[in-house]
Amino acid sequence: MSDTEKSGRDNQGRFSKGNPGGPGRPRRAVEEDYLAALSDQLSIERWENIVTRAIEDAENGDHRARDWIARYALGPSPKVAEMGLQGALRLFQLAVDEAREKTVEEKIENRLANDRLLESSYDSLLKRY
C-alpha cells in the first residue's frame, strides 16, 4: 500500500475518492461550558431588560444598538444581504422614525380631541348661564 493510499489523499494532496474523512472538528466542550454558564446567569427577565434598553438606546440614536437589533430582527434574509448592513440599518431607522411619527401624531390628535372636548364643554356651560 502506497503512502497516498494510507493517507487517503491523491498525489496532489486532495482527498481521494471513497475517503471516509476524519473525525471532524472536536466537540465544543469549551463553548458548551461558556454557553451553560451564560444560560445559568441570563434569565428571561434579564434578557428582556437588555432588549428593552437596546430598543430605547436605538430610538435615541445609538447606532450600535440599531445594528444589534437589526441583526437579530431582520436576520440573515437574502433581502438584507442584498441591501447590505447599511441598507438594513436604514430600513430599521425608517421603522423607528415611522413609529415616532405615529406617536407624535397620536399625541397631537389626542390633544386636539381634548381641546375640542374642552371647547364643547365650555360652550355648553356658556349656554346654561
The DSSP code sequence of the chain is: --HHHHHTB-TTSSBPTT------SPP-HHHHHHHHHHHHH--HHHHHHHHHHHHHHHHTT-HHHHHHHHHHHHTT-HHHHHHHHHHHHHHHHHHHHHHHHHHHHHHHHHHHHHHHHHHHHHHHHHHH-
Question: What is the residue whose three cell numbers read 493517507?
Answer: 7
| 93 vs 51: which has the higher pLDDT | 51
The 10 Å Cβ neighbour count of residue 69 is 20
Rounded Cα–Cα distance for residues 70 and 121 (Å):
48
Round the average pLDDT of the chain to a whole number and report it.
76
pLDDT at res. 60: 92
pTM passes above 0.85 = no
pLDDT at res. 8: 76
| 79 vs 64: which has the higher pLDDT | 64
C-alpha cell at 53: 434598553
Cα torsion 46, 51, 55, 61 to 10°: value is 90
Domain spans in the chain, listed from the N-terminal domain onward: 27-128
| 101 vs 42: which has the higher pLDDT | 42
pLDDT at res. 6: 62
Rounded Cα–Cα distance for residues 68 and 1 (Å):
55
Comparing CA positions, the residue from 56, 71, 54, 66 lying closest to residue 93 is: 66
On the question of pLDDT at 1 being above 60, the answer is: no
